[in-house]
Amino acid sequence: MNIRKMSMVGFSPTRTTKTVLESIASGMDIQASTFIDMTLPTHAEAMCFGSEEVVIIGAPVYAGRLPVHAVERFRKLKGEHTPVVIVVVYGNREFEDALLELKHLVIEQGFVPVAGASFIGEHSFSTAEFPVAQGRPDSSDMACAKAFGEAVVSKIAALESVVGVEIDVPGNFPYKNGMPANSVAPVSRVACTLCGLCESVCPTGAIEVSHEVVTEASLCIRCCACIRACPHEVRVIEDEAWKAIGVRLYTNCATPKMPQLFC
């Protein structure tokens, strides 16, 4: 197959998934490439992709599933027997049903999965006191991602077409239950300068900044993008149950896991 164009499509609140996708793309080395960021609620346009291009689609894993907002936005993508590489990034616990869910989703949208992968990224609940997969993806992960991209582009080049191509990925269907309904969210301490960065990075539009910072907890997906973006480190988690989850992850998920590739 002759691939003329490559697109990366990502839902990436803390930019970790974006980093992985770009490393895979560097290994594929297709000059006409773009990154389509579907993280923010302002991205509303539908997009179509042809059979002579390849798409890399990636998202983080939340409680073993894809984020519901990522699913909603990925449904705006339409393929025409377009080869696709599916990628999930998880915080060193488990990716469970997320990659299978992404496989099913892209097939419904007209794509043909030719490869898949799971990579590890720093967990969104990770803190300096209780780090979980801190520094991931690291240089080894990035080298693996690039080599994966090289293998994928070689596989595609050897195909006459993607008709009949299938990949097996782990997971169960029906899928496990995902994130439960949320009633808590990060808060801004009194030292907040009302700069608005937290509002600008929130993937669900849960934050509004005026004379104070107001967060609609029911919209919060606990991605912690607002915490990572805060330049003064005054956006924090105060809920004790939420912090306890972070401690359990620190205790139970200390052994580094490695990327898994399905090509």
Task: Please give the tally of structural domains in the chain.
Answer: 2
What is the pLDDT confidence band of residue 157, given thresholds at 50, 70 and 90? very high
Residues 6+ apart with CB under 8 A from 196: 209
221 and 160 housed in the same domain: no
Reported as type and span, the H/E element at residue 10 is: strand 5-10
Looking at residue 10, its pLDDT comes to 97
Does residue 230 fall inside a structural domain? Answer: yes
Instruction: Specify the CATH number for the domain of residue 30.
Output: 3.40.50.360
Q: Would 166 be classed as within a structural domain?
A: yes
Does residue 168 form part of some domain?
A: yes
Q: Which residues contact 80 (CB under 8 A, 6 or more apart)?
A: 48, 49, 50, 51, 110
Indicate whether 82 and 157 sit together in one domain.
yes
Q: How confident is the model at residue 42 (pLDDT cuts 50, 70, 90)?
A: confident
Q: What is the CATH number of the domain that holds 194?
A: 3.30.70.20
Given a cut of 90, whether residue 186 has pLDDT beyond it is yes
Tell me if 246 is assigned to some domain: no
Task: Find, among 118, 133, 95, 119, the residue nearest to 254 by Cα.
Answer: 133
181 lies in some domain = no
* Domain enclosing residue 218, as ranges: 187-238
78 and 201 inside one domain: no
User: 193 and 144 share a domain?
Assistant: no
What local confidence, expressed as pLDDT, does residue 44 receive?
A: 66
For residue 37, being part of any structural domain is answered with yes
Over 70: is that where the pLDDT of 204 sits? yes
Q: Are residues 170 and 224 in the same domain?
A: no
pTM: 0.96
- Mean pLDDT across 246-256: 97
Q: Which residue has the tokens 């997320």?
A: 98
Statement to judge: residues 152 and 205 lie in one domain: no
Residue 251 lies in a domain: no
- Taking residues 114-130, what's their average pLDDT? 97
Instruction: Give a yes or no: residue 16 inside a domain.
Output: yes
- Exposure of 208 by Cβ count < 10 A (0-12 exposed, 13-18 middle, 19+ buried)? middle
